[in-house]
């Protein structure tokens, strides 16, 4: 048994955060049913983004949301569901007559989770956009990248997944707890602008105290500190250094053969020179040589592994951080005592009748 075993979630298939949120909920044990576009409804642009990884652990039903019969069947599923997640632009579900009010009339306990870039309200709510746009407006993108170049997108991790999907999951789970106590569901409005802004809370706090400068690459955690950044090694690969605390910084310098008296940690005026010195030292040996030097020390130095390398690192292998299957993939996280932590395969494609029968 997993923590969410017994919970039923309807997922209106989409891209980005909804798909990831559905995967996380299924990994935690929820019975998640993906409602996908039927052939008569027109194929989505990216039909199988994520495939057996992001779609794992749940079955699917092909429906036409504009068909009255399929819409009635969906409302039957809504009547026995605990939660629903969707990522359409504001107003789409209402026009399909599947909005929160209609669904609440069928099932007052339903938690209705919505994730969008701009949110359900506000001047930009109806506009299109992508992860990069949402984190740009929230202030999360500006600190990313090199000081003399434009900001560099941090993949789609901050907007789609951190600020979108994980805030949606958090909101849905909070709503489900409340619904069990009160008998009334909620509508969850998870906006990637809101979520990515929230992820920047620490940096707003530091800025308010005068401890964070507006320039990229000039601060403690953005690569400005020579003891918290990545370095290129002789073989063109990289190591990550995170020696923030003084004792860890001492271990770093010891491994590099640098006299600590010559390299005071928080003398920011000397950071440019220390950057150059450490760059030259790290460039003198291969990445895995440095990994061996610092293995088992408190220097907080690790190799920067590629997607292909990461599953084979001894720590990841020992913890089964990645799982084999039709596709090598990250295992579910977090872990729970007494629960199977292996990912479930992608489920079958069901008919509407089969889906209704399985949930009755």
Q: Residues 31, 70, 131, 160: which is the catalytic one?
A: 160
Helices (H), the chain: 17-27, 51-54, 68-80, 92-95, 100-106, 131-138, 166-182, 192-199, 201-208, 246-256, 271-282, 287-294, 314-319, 352-359
> What distance lies between CA 262 and its chain's CA centroid?
41
Rounded CA gap, 291 and 302, in Å? 6
Rounded CA gap, 353 and 262, in Å? 74
Q: Is 104 helix (H, G, I), strand (E, B) or coil?
A: helix
* Helix (H), strand (E) at residue 72: helix 68-80
Nearest to residue 20, comparing CAs of 180, 95, 128, 131?
Answer: 131
Cβ 316 vs Cβ 324: under 8 Å? no
Rounded CA gap, 227 and 234, in Å? 19
Question: For this structure, is 130 an active site residue?
Answer: yes
Rounded CA gap, 302 and 293, in Å? 10
Q: Residues 67, 130, 142, 313: which is the catalytic one?
A: 130
In this structure, what is the dihedral angle of CA atoms 264, 270, 275, 280, given to the nearest 10 degrees? -80
Alpha-carbon distances, residue 68 vs 63, 96, 340 (angstroms): 11, 10, 40
Cβ 298 vs Cβ 248: under 8 Å? yes
Rounded CA gap, 260 and 4, in Å? 51
Question: b/e map of 12-42 (b: 16 or more CB within 10 Å)?
Answer: bbbbbbbbbbbbbbbbbbbbbbbbbbbeeee
Nearest to residue 84, comparing CAs of 178, 181, 187, 165?
Answer: 187
Question: For this structure, is 148 an active site residue?
Answer: no
Orientation angle between helical segments 246-256 and 271-282, nearest 10 degrees: 50
Catalytic annotation, residues: 130, 160
């Amino acid at each position: 048994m997993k923590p969410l075993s017994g919970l039923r979630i309807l997922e209106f298939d989409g891209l980005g955060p909804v798909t990831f949120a559905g995967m996380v909920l299924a990994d935690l044990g929820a019975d998640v049913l993906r409602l996908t576009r039927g052939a008569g409804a027109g194929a989505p642009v990216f039909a199988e983004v994520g495939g057996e990884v992001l779609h794992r652990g749940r079955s699917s039903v092909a429906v036409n949301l504009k068909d009255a019969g399929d819409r009635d069947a969906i409302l039957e599923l809504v009547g026995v569901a605990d939660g629903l997640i969707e990522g359409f632009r504001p107003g789409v579900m209402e026009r399909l007559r599947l909005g929160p009010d209609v669904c609440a009339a069928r099932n007052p306990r339903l938690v209705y989770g919505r994730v969008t870039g701009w949110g359900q309200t506000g001047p930009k709510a109806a506009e299109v956009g992508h992860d990069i746009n949402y984190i740009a407006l929230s202030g999360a993108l500006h600190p990313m990248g090199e000081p003399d170049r434009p900001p560099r997108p941090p993949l789609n991790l901050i907007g789609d997944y951190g600020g979108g999907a994980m805030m949606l999951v958090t909101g849905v789970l909070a709503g489900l707890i409340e619904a069990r106590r009160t008998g009334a569901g909620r509508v969850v409005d998870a906006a990637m602008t809101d979520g990515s802004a929230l992820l920047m809370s620490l940096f707003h706090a530091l800025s308010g105290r005068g401890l964070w400068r507006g320039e990229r690459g000039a601060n403690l955690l953005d690569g400005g500190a020579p003891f918290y950044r990545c370095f290129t090694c002789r073989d063109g690969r990289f190591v990550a250094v995170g020696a923030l605390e003084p004792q860890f910084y001492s271990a770093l310098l010891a491994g590099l053969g640098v006299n600590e008296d010559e390299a005071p940690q928080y003398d920011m005026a000397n950071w440019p020179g220390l950057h150059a010195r450490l760059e030259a030292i790290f460039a003198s040996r291969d990445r895995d040589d440095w990994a061996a030097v610092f293995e088992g020390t408190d220097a907080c130095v690790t190799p920067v592994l590629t997607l292909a390398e990461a599953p084979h690192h001894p720590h990841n292998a020992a913890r089964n951080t990645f799982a084999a299957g039709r596709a090598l993939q990250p295992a579910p996280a977090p872990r729970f005592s007494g629960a199977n932590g292996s990912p479930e395969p992608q489920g079958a494609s069901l008919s509407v009748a089969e889906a209704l029968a399985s949930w009755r």
